[in-house]
Amino acid sequence: MDEIRITGEVESIIYQNADNGYTVFALETEDDEVTCVGIVPQIHAGESLEITGHWSIHPLYGRQIQVTSYEKSMPTTCAGIEKYLSSGLIKGIGPKIAKKIVDRFGEASFYVIEEKPEQLAEIKGLTYEKAQRISEVFREQHELRKAMLFLQEFDVSPTYAMRIYKKYKSRTFEVVKHNPYRLADDIWGIGFRMADKMAASAGISPDDPNRVKAAVKYILTNAASNGDCYLPKESLMEQAKELLQLHPDHVENAIRELQVDSQIWQETMNGMDSVYLNTYFYAEMAVAKRLLELSQEYMCTNMEGVANEIARMEKKTGVILAEEQRAAVLEAMSCGVLIITGGPGTGKTTTINTILRLLKDEGCEVVLAAPTGRAAKRMSEATGVEAQTIHRMLESTFLGEDVRRQTFDRNEENPIEADVIIIDETSMVDIMLMHALLRAVAPGTRLIFVGDVDQLPSVGPGNVLKDMIRSERLKVVRLEHIFRQAQESAIIMNAHRINRGDDPVLNENGTDFFFVKRAFGEDVVRTIRDLVLTRLPKFTGCDGLRDMQVLTPMRKGVLGVQNLNTVLQAALNPPSEERAEKEFRQIVFREGDKVMQIKNNYNIAWRMYNAMGKRCDEGVGIFNGDAGMIREIDDANETMQVVFDDGKVVDYDYSQLEELELAYAITIHKSQGSEYPVVIIPVHSGPPMLMTRNLLYTAVTRAKTLVVLVGIQETISAMVNNDREVGRYTGLAQRIRNLYDFMAEAGE
């Protein structure tokens, strides 16, 4: 795409988003008037612009320039000044007043407004007070202009420049010149590397203490995004040395200063010197303490009575519990905190339903929740009791754009009103969400955690379910017996075989578990496309778009999410004059596409409708992993409407499309907590750290009626034999053990 550079005057603003600076405007050049679009904040009619960009064709509006960068200057002609002042930029100046100002002061109008506002009061219709207000607004706009130009010198994009100025206002220049590393802490989306580039441009020394401290926090934050709550100090030092190219003494000093400032914590964890960001240290401490407190705040003394109630319920329902299930129900009715873990077909749902019936008979208030909308919906369908997401149960709120400023209305002062809280799919819960949940649990409330400990851990930091079990200080019941009905499903039996380290049985007659051999990656892709488009709909009666999900280990490559989505979109939802589409960062979104939310947005509004089409509920918050379908793309209003699987309807502004991606194929990690009628899994090649046993196990257990593996049989065996779990640095298990033992000694 050839880059072009054009100079002209802003004729009019067609559309402008004040929050992110996305603007559509007409630019008058010497030869023509052209339409321009892009992140061009705070421009107004009459301004002179020099823009850099490239031509593109919009399906509705035709030929236009996509702006990649720009420079602007204040108008200098009387006509330009009048147009600028008439644009509505300055409250108090409309077209009539603008004409009077320019008629009176001509090309000196801006100087008078900024430096001599009292002279404006000479114009009929302007009081002295109004003239002062106009001057104040103009000076603020001038300050913003200077800040935007100043930040352009550091190659800061207009989007981030707006965020920086909104945060610091007149202090922007001082902060960027003296400590741009503050931006990494204060501005969502600006990390260490961007701040470091700005610091180098500002001439800040490579061994500046602020740089070293920012690097240490950056490395620890990066580790958290990979699931770690802390890093061994040796690893942190090595990474910092490589990143900064400085002597280790600088890093030691930075760690010491950060600990004095209460930003990090050092201690011996799992036999090694370790460094935490304070956030995760305090979260682990609080979770360990609260779990142990809750486990001891409820103790049932009449165990015989509970056993009799279980027997009565079995007789009443005709459901005879297995020994493990009965033990789980007994513990659930008699202790403060219980963990129930088991694979598919081991009776978790039957166990939970029995617990719910007994609790109902006791008159208990029970609340059900799960980490995702899909998991909550499955929980509701399995139990007949309404379940909600943990975020919604905690009444999450969101302060601004920064996800680090998430908060919850439910906490110690406003706890969840329940006698018992049951959390499903607990393997997906990270340490920060567990911390928020436990803060909102009132003393005496019982907690039951349900999950499959052999599935992949949470996307966020921690390995909470595994650590709670590993601590050996909390009540745990393992459901291992596979029921006869479940034994008829090859999906369930093969899932357990994989989990034990045995190869799955493939292609038996009448099976629901198939393998299609393909030697080359391109052949795997073609086969998956044919399966989804024709073969499986014909064989199963399932709809390729709504009922089938391709799950892949990788994001990139021939069998990665990106390529598979392109191929499957073309097959299942090809271009059509009847379906509007929007291109955004190399992704074409089209009406009818399957899409997924890829980051938590706690502030986006949603609504729900009943069968009659009337609005029946509304709220805020769409979360990482929520999936749905594009219902409408509205170019005129720059919005895209998505209907999620749980019925939520959301209107996305075009500037928010970075939160969505196509979901014909998704990573196995993103499928956690979901269930699909048909699952198709490419098993061809990939790095050993990805191609693991628990990844394959997680993918297989997402299927309800059919699994199809496509690729190389040796790869399946290699994954089954690769019991390598990517280790996470977490301290929760040790903290629970230490605290329990300390409390036990203190109570003696």
Annotated binding site for ATP: 345-349
Q: Could you tell me if 206 and 244 are in contact, meaning their C-beta atoms sit under 8 angstroms apart?
A: yes
Helix (H) or strand (E) holding 7: strand 4-16
How far is CA 93 from each of CA 121, 491, 588, rounded to the nearest angstrom? 13, 71, 42
Count of alpha carbons within 13 Å of 337, Cβ hemisphere only? 22
The residue type of 571 is: A
The residue type of 347 is: G
Question: Cα separation of 381 and 389, whole Å?
Answer: 14
Count of alpha carbons within 13 Å of 152, Cβ hemisphere only? 15
Q: Could you tell me if 286 and 279 are in contact, meaning their C-beta atoms sit under 8 angstroms apart?
A: no
Annotated binding site: 345-349
> Which residues share a beta bridge with 25?
13, 36
Measured CA angle at 524 (ends 520, 528), to 5 deg:
170
> Which residues share a beta bridge with 682?
710
How far is CA 729 from each of CA 91, 226, 230, 427, rounded to the nearest angstrom? 55, 10, 6, 16
From the CA atom positions of the chain, what is the Rg in Å? 30
Question: Cα separation of 569 and 564, whole Å?
Answer: 8
Nearest alpha carbon to residue 579 among 593, 567, 595: 593
Query: What would the DSSP string read from start to end of 661-729?
Result: EE-SEEETGGGTT--EEEEEEEES---TTTS-HHHHHHHHTTEEEEEEEEE-HHHHHHHHH--------
Here the contacts of 78-84 (C-beta below 8 Å, separation 24 or greater) are 78/102, 78/106, 78/107, 80/9, 80/46, 80/47, 80/48, 81/46, 81/107, 81/109, 81/110, 82/46, 83/45, 83/46, 84/44, 84/45, 84/46, 84/47
The residue type of 99 is: K
Nearest alpha carbon to residue 81 among 119, 111, 126, 51: 111
Question: Cα separation of 193 and 214, whole Å?
Answer: 10
Q: What share of the chain is helix, strand, coil (3-state, %, to 5)?
A: 45, 25, 30
How far is CA 554 from each of CA 163, 417, 439, 658, 673, rounded to the nearest angstrom? 33, 42, 36, 20, 19
Question: Cα separation of 444 and 295, whole Å?
Answer: 9
Query: Where does residue 165 rank: exposed (0-12), middle (13-18), buried (19+ CB within 10 A)?
Result: buried
Cβ neighbors of 111 (< 8 A, separation 6 or more) are 105
In the three-class reduction of DSSP (H, G, I as helix; E, B as strand; rest coil), residue 467 is classed as: helix
Paired sense of beta strands 272-277 and 366-370, if any: unpaired
Helix (H) or strand (E) holding 95: helix 95-105
| Helical packing angle, 128-152 and 158-168, nearest 10° | 130
